[in-house]
Chains A and B, each alone.
Chain A
Amino acid sequence: MMETGRVVLSEDAAPGVGLLVFHSPEVARDYRPGSFVHLRTGDSATVLRRPFSIARVRGEDVVLLYRIIGSGTEWMRARRPGDELDMMGPLGTVFRLRERASRTLLVGGGLGMAPLLGLAEALRHAGYVGEMEALLGIRSQGDVFGPALTEGVDLEWQLATDDGSGGFHGNAAQLLARRLDALAASGEDPSTIAIYSAGPEPMLEAVARICEPRGLDLQVSMEAHMACGVGACRACGIVPWKDESRIHGRVCKEGPVFDASEILWDQVTI
């Protein structure tokens, strides 16, 4: 579970967005859609690791997409081919691949959509998807990520932009609601639809509030600040359960993927 990755590629995928590919046969082998790696981003004096969802795996190469927001991600951006990465992982509870879905909807928010790429590949590979649609909410048309991100993943994103500069004018949850209304009007059985969502918490909550009254099967991938990454410290305990015998789901352990129907969304505190 302590692994070393060797950097294959590190580049800017878009302004402020890093793409890092590293070689690790072990991480690639143990990867399941939704899992994450806990990276040491800096020298041995770095006190906290940083968790990153694995976007996808190609052969023995592992792909990470990240927003460059601070010293840790600046360090990642400065990696060069051949550099070594120290990581724990893959960690976390992963997406359950829903069998026999007539329709699969992937709902992403910005760069948070990363784990949906590998999920789409795994669902296709397993033959579970039925019709697959991918909805992506971004701020504006200019935020569309480079082709490097989705190369080889056969997904056509339906865009929603906050500023209306491209696609649907609104957010991903609103676009989803519109799409679900259309499916309902056409008589599609909601029990055969599988929905997977990844992105910022407010978006996931909005998606959950759309799916819950319709009785739809929704899984969400959450993000949180972490320290240990293995469930010991409770820094990331942000997901309150409906089950009162438990307090919080730990994003690192019971998550990052949660079944949306098990969460008390109005008490999520992040």
Chain B
Amino acid sequence: MRINPRIINRLVRMGLNVQAFFTVGILIIIVAIIFFKGFPHMSFAFIFSFPEDMGREGGIFPSIVGTIQLALLSILFATPLGLGTAIFLTEYTRESLFTKLIRFGVESLAGIPSILYGLFGFIFFVIKLKMGWSLLAGVLTMTIMILPTIIRTSEEAIRAVPRQLRIVSYSLSASKWETIKKVVLPAAMPGILTGIMLSIGRAVGETAAIIFTMGSSLRLPLSVMDSGRTMAVHFYILAREGISMEKAYGTAVVLVLSILLINILAYYIMNKAIARYS
């Protein structure tokens, strides 16, 4: 018997439809669980007060500060390096063995799982360079982790800048660097920002690499040599050790909410940029 291809077509269409919404449903369910369980435990005081009794009572202020410090400092280091690499790859060379090698390096860095970054950061920064578990060791490890994201997004953004803009700039006798600085980079800025936002999101959500480099001290890191705890690490410890489910859910809300907002902002910027050039 031969089933009419049109019927199969319709069935497949329906199946795929269901499937796609099922997948989105997973995201919605995850976010919904976290929000419903967590919102009752989240308050102004929870965000701005210090934890007591190992996090069983009180708030999560030090871990929020720790997260912000980690994310911003990593971005501060990674952005010049990543953007510089992207500019070099797009503006200063043709495809050659050298660029292939660099691209191989970037691809490989992107593929390394975070636990190996943790191992490396632990042995190199924490032990060999004697930084101890510290904000600095965490920041440097994170810098390397987010570098590939920044390079890739910046490269794409710079490539998308129309050639005409460059030609006009050169014809006004601007030098190469002036052209890049005054014409190309401003035009590519939204794409670059998207990369930076995505990287911040990654730094905020990371645990495996951070717990072995930045440690898990609960107090407010006052210097880069202090150990600290990010929200993700704090959440991990609260949940895994069963210290307090309420506080764990409360932390999860703040964590997930900030990552969602950062990522949504990133895609918003990107979409605006796409709209501008198409």
Say whether A associates with B.
no
